[in-house]
Each structure stands twice: as structure tokens, then as C-alpha cells.
Amino acid sequence: MVRTLLLLASLFLALSGASIDRRIATSKKRLHATKSTYANMDRKLAAIAKQIEENRAKLKELDRVITLSDKEIAVNSVTLEEGRKRLAEIEKEMAALDRTKAQQEKRLVDLLANRYILEEIIRDKGIQTPDDVIESEVIRSLIKVDRQQLKSMQSAYVKTLAEREKLLAEAKRIEAMIARLQKKKETAAKEKERRRKLVAQLQQEKKAYQKRLERLQQEESDLRKTLARLNILKKEELERRKRQKSRKETAALARGDKLKVRTIGSSYQRQAVGHYRGPKTISPVGRAKVVKRFGSYIDPIYKIRIFNESITLKPYRKNAKVKNVLNGKVVFAKKTPMLGKVVIVEHKNHLHTVYAKMDKIAPTIREGKKIRRGYVIGRVEKELMFEVTQKNRHINPLELIRLR
């Protein structure tokens, strides 16, 4: 009895250890799958996401500049108003100085003319009688007085000119200050208008991103329904996913925009993902670049987890041939609303390969036809969506095929 209990305990520990090892391996794989967000995304989706992030950064910097401009304008608004008042006062003072200057200039001219006349009288008349002497002295006294007045008037005139120049310099400084502050206000207004346009552009980009994201979800949903109709994925499994989706569906809010997307938890991933253990086979399009990878990733815009059940391959050749990757039988070959032309091939051990978004299906391909590995099933101009399933599980296609 004791031996039996010990054996059971050992077996339990061994199974627990294996379970823990599997969990660790799964966690490592999931961690690796989420390292590069953009690498796991649709190419167009990644481009829009990158543009959104760049514009968000521009908008943040623009808001900072506008905030600083608004603060500076608020601080300088008092100075601006005082400057304008002082400029008005200077204009009045300048007008008064100009009047004074004109009067001083007239008096100076009169004094100079009077002095000239008196000096000419003395020179022309000469001294003949005692009265002439007295008259000459009087004239000389008048000339002396005129000389003193002239000197005083000249000094006042120079002072007026200096005050005028000082006022002109002050007016120029104030005008320059007003022009500088006004330019800052105009710049701030332009920045605000630029911000408004950038916000509008950002909203458009987010709408395009949301539309593209929803399309990708619809494409995967359409493919799952097609697989369910063919009993490749059991209908009850599809229903279970729908129930899980309704429980876990999340509203992602980004600047007031609401976007509902399917989120896949770890329990779904553990049950839905399988692994291919056999030897690798050929690529369906030869040498190609993976532009959308299999697995989960965190969406960079809405910060939600999304799971890709397929990969998207961009062939290096245009109008590339699409080839069957394993011996099997065609179970589906037709055009669909969301995925374009689709071919599904059934292989051994309940394995199915899905070739979607093709531009042409080969005329020899029909449902029920048995085809061998390497058989041309169609052509693709830009990108091929490739998926692998086994029973109710999705397999990473890169475990099955060799791209080089």
C-alpha cells in the first residue's frame, strides 16, 4: 500500500513538473512573441501606427510651445499696454517740442536779423555829434543784449533738440518692443492653428488605423467561419470563442475614441495553439518577407492584446506563383468577400493549409482534387495570407515552412 502511494506521489510530482515545464516554455514563447510589436503587425497598420506616434510627439511639443507663448504674452500684456500708453504720451510731447522748436527757430532768426541791422547802422552812420555817440552806445548795448539772448536761445534750442532725440529713441524702443510682442502673439496664433490641423490629422489617422485594425479582425473572423463551415474548426469551438470574446471584449479609449477589439487571454492561447513536429517543407511563395507574424502582440495605439492566427508573406517577386506545401486534397477554392480568392488544402493527420488573398486561382484547381507538394494553385501580386490548422488548434506556419 505504502509502495503504491509512493509510486502515485512520484507520478504526480513528475506530471506536475512536466506541466510546470510546459508552462515555462509557453511563457517564454509568448514573451518572445511580444518583444517586437511592429514586427507582428500588418505592414500598413504599422505604418499608420508609426505616423500616429510621430504626430502625438509633435502635438506634445506644440502644446509645450503654445503654453510657454501664452504665459509670456500674459506676463508681457501689461508691459505692452503701458508701452502703447507711453508711446501716445511721447507723440503729444513730440508735438509740443516741435511747436517750441519752431518758435525758437523764428526767434533766433529774428535776433540774428536784428543784430545784423544794428551793426550795419553803426558801420554806415559813424560818429559826428555827441548825440551820435549816445545813439551808438545805445545800439551797442542792444547788440550786447541780443548777443546774450541769442546765446540763451541757442542753448534752449540745443536742449530742445536733445529732448526730441531722446523721445525719438524711447519711441523706437517701445515700437520695437510692441512689434516683438505682437510677433509673438501672431506666432502663438499660428502655432494654435497648426495644432488644430495636427489634431484633425491625428483623428483621421486614428480612424484609418481603427478601420484597418477592424478589417484585419474581420478577415480572421471570415476565415474562421469558412473553416467552421468545412468542419476544419468545429462549430462548437467557434461558439466557445464567441462566448469567450463577449466575456473578454474590452473598450480601448484613446483621446475619446472607442474601439472594441477581440482580446485573447492566455487560456485561449494555450488551448488554441498547437505545434508542428514534422520536417519543414517549402514556402508557398518561395523567398519572401514576413510582414505580419503569427501570435500575440500589444497594439501600440490602443494598448490591447491581439492574436494573429496566420502570417502574411510578401514575395520578392511580383505576380509570384503560390504552391501547395504538402501532399493533400483541395477542400475549398473560391472567392470570398473579405479574403479575396482562397484555397484550403487538407493533409494527413487533420492538418490544413489555407492560402488567402490570392489574385488568381489556377484553372486546374477544384474542390476534391488531389495535389502534390509544389503544385501551383494560383498567383499573388502583393501579399499572401497563409494559415495552418490541425483539428481545433492553430499552428505557427513558420514551424511548417522554410522561407529560404
Rounded to 5°, the CA angle 95-97-98 comes to 65
Question: Would you say residue 298 has pLDDT above 70?
Answer: yes
CA-to-CA distance for 4 and 10, rounded, in angstroms?
Answer: 10
Question: Would you say residue 15 has pLDDT above 50?
Answer: no
Higher pLDDT: 353 or 247? It is: 353
- When pLDDT is cut at 50, 70 and 90, the band that residue 45 belongs to is confident
**Which residues, other chains included, contact 59 with Cβ-Cβ below 8 Å and sequence gap of 6+?**
195, 198, 199, 202
The predicted structure's pLDDT at residue 312: 93
Alpha-carbon 278 to chain mean position: 45
Q: Which residues of 219-236 are buried (b: 16+ CB within 10 A; e: fewer)?
A: bbbbbbebbbeeebbeee
Most confident option among 88-92, 228-232, 327-331: 327-331
Higher pLDDT: 120 or 29? It is: 120
Rounded to 5°, the CA angle 367-308-283 comes to 55
Identify the bridge partners of residue 390 per DSSP, sorted by sequence position: 351, 393
The predicted structure's pLDDT at residue 398: 94
Identify the bridge partners of residue 336 per DSSP, sorted by sequence position: 340
Q: What is the CATH number of domain 234-404?
A: 2.70.70.10
| 371 sits in which H/E element | strand 370-371
Where are the chain's structural domains? 1-32, 61-201, 234-404
Alpha-carbon 381 to chain mean position: 31
Q: What's the whole-model pTM score?
A: 0.57
**Predicted confidence (pLDDT) per residue in 286-297, tens digit:** 999 998 889 887
Q: Which residue type is seen at 139?
A: I
Nearest to 384 by CA among 319, 324, 312, 320: 312
Taking residues 278-283, what's their average pLDDT? 93
The predicted structure's pLDDT at residue 313: 94
Q: Please give the share of the chain, as a percent, with pLDDT higher than 90.
A: 23
Question: Would you say residue 258 has pLDDT above 50?
Answer: no
Taking residues 132-139, what's their average pLDDT? 54
CA-to-CA distance for 210 and 302, rounded, in angstroms?
Answer: 9
Question: Would you say residue 403 has pLDDT above 90?
Answer: no
The predicted structure's pLDDT at residue 204: 87
CATH class of 61-201: mainly alpha
Q: Which three cell numbers stand for residue 69?
A: 507663448
Question: Would you say residue 167 has pLDDT above 90?
Answer: no
**Predicted confidence (pLDDT) per residue in 363-399, tens digit:** 999 999 999 999 999 999 999 999 999 988 899 999 9
Question: Would you say residue 329 has pLDDT above 90?
Answer: yes
Most confident option among 83-87, 159-163, 200-204: 200-204
Taking residues 235-257, what's their average pLDDT? 51
Question: Any idea how long the chain is?
Answer: 404
Higher pLDDT: 251 or 10? It is: 10
Question: Would you say residue 347 has pLDDT above 70?
Answer: yes
| Mean pLDDT for all residues in the chain | 75
The predicted structure's pLDDT at residue 255: 42
Give yes or no for a contact between 63 and 196, defined as CB atoms under 8 angstroms apart: no
Taking residues 209-231, what's their average pLDDT? 82
Taking residues 78-101, what's their average pLDDT? 74
